[in-house]
């Protein structure tokens, strides 16, 4: 026994139990100089320090100790002996940190702070240290299938690029921005953790040119897969553009029909409520471009049910021709967004069809979206990118953090 509890004291005013700890003489048999491992004797003691520990029943519990400082017999180096209960932050014990981490996975930081009676600043600092330490140890040596997606930090402004291991279903890396530079930063991180850029065989991404250039520049062995989730998302965005154009160009009749309807078009027919179904039927009677664009999105979505890539290829080609044909019967430019999407699909067809080869791994890409919203909820009120990235690594990085 190198340490012992010499006093326990209950302070009724604060409802706190204090456990006073002191080192035993045996400690000096095991402590060695951190410089060269020389024998050490007790030099002096620090002021009293406290560490928050797990509650004893409903009572807050703190360990207190005047930590010994050792002096090396050989080199004279004087140092503070590190107590075995201390966590990575100087205010908490290891057990308390593990417990707080457990809560942080489940609820927003402000709620954790209130629940354990600590300031959020202290808790964040602890989380930063824990995640930094665990992330430094993370191993990316088997990473071969990677997906990238953007996460908005503030609506429409700042973005994070998030890179995920699609096989092990974990977030590997996140960084500010969404340009091709982010790829360089990612491959550097990958290789710092024993991965290799040329070991990547599949990269799942949206059809934005920046990410594609990043892959082409740095990971030449990787096949680009434009995953289903992003293609459908593009289609939904195109429908929304058509709706806005129609509200602008279409006169009073279409304005009335489309007023406050944007959420309607983002749903699939089977998810509409009865009320929405009635509304949708009324709008459809008016032969609006928006309804047509919506139908195009549904057909595109249905192509993903094709059993083989060959069948899907034919249907995608027919779809593109159909979109362009139909667009000619609407007011100039009304369906422009859909026509643009048809071009995009044609130009990225090989990568889109790769879905049939790699289908399974892409499920995680869509799941990332809910990971993002959960992360933002947990870091609510602290939208700095460092806070968000740290919270993302905690919840989705599968890091080896202390278990409670
Ligand atoms: Zn020494």
Say whether 341 sits in a helix, a strand or coil. Answer: helix
Give the distance (Å) from ligand 1 centre to CA of residue 46: 20
Give the distance (Å) from ligand 1 centre to CA of residue 81: 13
DSSP structure string for 221-241 = TPEEEE-HHHHHHHHHHHHHH
Kindly state the DSSP code that residue 172 receives in the 8-state scheme.
Answer: E
Q: Going by DSSP bridges, is the β-strand pair 16-23/59-72 parallel, antiparallel, or unpaired?
A: parallel
Give the distance (Å) from ligand 1 centre to CA of residue 27: 17
Closest Cα to residue 298, out of 273, 265, 321? 265
- C-beta of residue 69 within 8 angstroms of C-beta of residue 81: yes
| Side-chain half-sphere exposure of 113, counting CA atoms within 13 A | 15
241-246-250 Cα angle (round to 5) = 170
Q: Determine the distance from the C-alpha atom of residue 169 to the mean position of all C-alpha atoms in its chain, rounded to a whole number.
A: 11
Give the distance (Å) from ligand 1 centre to CA of residue 20: 29
Give the distance (Å) from ligand 1 centre to CA of residue 84: 21
Q: What is the CA radius of gyration of the chain?
A: 29
Give the distance (Å) from ligand 1 centre to CA of residue 22: 23
pLDDT at 254: 78
Query: What is the dihedral angle through the alpha carbons of 217, 219, 220, 226, rounded to the nearest 10 degrees?
Result: -90
Q: Print pLDDT tens along the chain (404 aa).
A: 899 999 999 999 999 999 999 999 999 999 999 988 999 999 999 999 999 999 999 999 999 999 999 999 999 999 999 999 999 998 999 999 999 999 999 999 999 999 999 999 999 999 999 999 999 999 999 999 999 999 988 776 789 999 999 999 999 999 999 988 999 999 999 999 999 999 999 999 999 899 999 999 999 999 999 989 899 999 999 999 999 998 888 777 777 788 778 888 888 888 989 988 888 888 877 788 999 999 999 999 999 999 999 999 999 999 999 999 999 998 878 999 999 999 999 999 999 999 998 866 677 888 888 999 999 999 988 868 999 999 999 999 999 999 88
Closest Cα to residue 320, out of 357, 352, 280, 285? 352
What is the C-alpha separation between 170 and 165, in angstroms, rounded? 5
- C-beta of residue 238 within 8 angstroms of C-beta of residue 341: yes
pTM over 0.85: yes
192-176-235 Cα angle (round to 5) = 115
Give, for 165, the enclosing helix (H) or strand (E): strand 159-165
Give the distance (Å) from ligand 1 centre to CA of residue 134: 29
What is the C-alpha separation between 188 and 319, in angstroms, rounded? 40
- C-beta of residue 185 within 8 angstroms of C-beta of residue 206: no
- C-beta of residue 246 within 8 angstroms of C-beta of residue 289: yes
Kindly state the DSSP code that residue 93 receives in the 8-state scheme.
Answer: B
For 250-273, the pLDDT digits (tens) are 777 777 788 778 888 888 888 989
Give the distance (Å) from ligand 1 centre to CA of residue 24: 21
Give the distance (Å) from ligand 1 centre to CA of residue 317: 75
Closest Cα to residue 288, out of 263, 266, 261? 261
For 56-85, the pLDDT digits (tens) are 999 999 999 999 999 999 999 999 999 999
Give the distance (Å) from ligand 1 centre to CA of residue 274: 78
What is the C-alpha separation between 165 and 6, in angstroms, rounded? 50
Q: Say which residue the tokens 């609407």 belong to.
A: 330
Say whether 21 sits in a helix, a strand or coil. Answer: strand
Give the distance (Å) from ligand 1 centre to CA of residue 6: 30
Give the distance (Å) from ligand 1 centre to CA of residue 39: 7
Q: b/e per residue, 27-65, with b = 16+ CB within 10 A?
A: bbeebebeeeebebeebeeeeeeebbbebeeeebbbbeb
């Amino acid at each position: 026994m190198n340490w012992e509890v010499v006093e326990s004291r209950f302070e009724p005013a604060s409802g706190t139990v204090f456990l006073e700890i002191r080192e035993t003489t045996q400690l000096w048999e095991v402590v060695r100089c951190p410089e060269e491992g020389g024998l050490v004797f007790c030099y002096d003691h620090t002021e009293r320090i406290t560490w928050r520990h797990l509650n004893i029943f409903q009572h807050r519990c703190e360990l207190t100790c005047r930590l010994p400082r050792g002096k090396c017999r050989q080199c004279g180096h004087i140092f503070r002996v590190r107590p075995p209960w201390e966590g990575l932050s100087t205010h908490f014990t290891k057990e308390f940190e593990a417990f707080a981490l457990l809560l942080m996975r489940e609820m927003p930081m402000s709620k954790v702070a209130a629940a354990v009676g600590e300031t959020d600043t202290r808790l964040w600092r602890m989380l930063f240290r824990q995640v930094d330490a665990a992330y430094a140890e993370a191993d990316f040596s088997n990473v071969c299938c990677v997906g990238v997606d953007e996460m908005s930090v503030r609506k429409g402004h700042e973005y994070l690029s998030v890179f995920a291991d699609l096989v092990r279903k974990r977030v590997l890396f996140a960084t500010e921005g969404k340009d091709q530079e982010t790829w360089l930063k990612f491959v550097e991180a990958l290789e710092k953790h024993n991965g290799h850029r040329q070991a990547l065989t599949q990269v799942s991404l949206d059809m934005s040119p920046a990410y594609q250039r990043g892959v082409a520049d740095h990971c030449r062995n990787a096949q680009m897969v434009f995953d289903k989730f992003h293609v459908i998302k593009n289609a939904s965005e195109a429908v929304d553009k058509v709706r806005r154009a129609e509200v602008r160009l279409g006169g009073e009749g279409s304005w009335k029909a489309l007023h406050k309807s944007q959420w309607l078009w983002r749903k699939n027919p089977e998810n509409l409520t009865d009320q929405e179904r009635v509304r949708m039927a009324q709008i459809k009677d008016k032969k609006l471009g928006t309804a047509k664009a919506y139908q195009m999105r549904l057909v595109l979505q249905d192509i993903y049910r094709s059993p083989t890539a060959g069948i899907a290829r034919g249907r995608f080609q027919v779809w593109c021709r159909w979109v362009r044909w139909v667009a000619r019967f609407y007011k100039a430019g009304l369906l422009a967004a859909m026509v643009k999407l048809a071009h995009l699909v044609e130009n990225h067809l090989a990568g889109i069809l790769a879905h049939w080869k790699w289908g399974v791994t892409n499920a995680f890409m869509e799941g990332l979206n809910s990971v993002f919203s959960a992360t933002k909820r947990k870091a609510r009120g602290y939208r700095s990118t460092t806070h968000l990235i740290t919270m993302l690594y905690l919840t989705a990085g599968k890091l080896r953090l202390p278990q409670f």
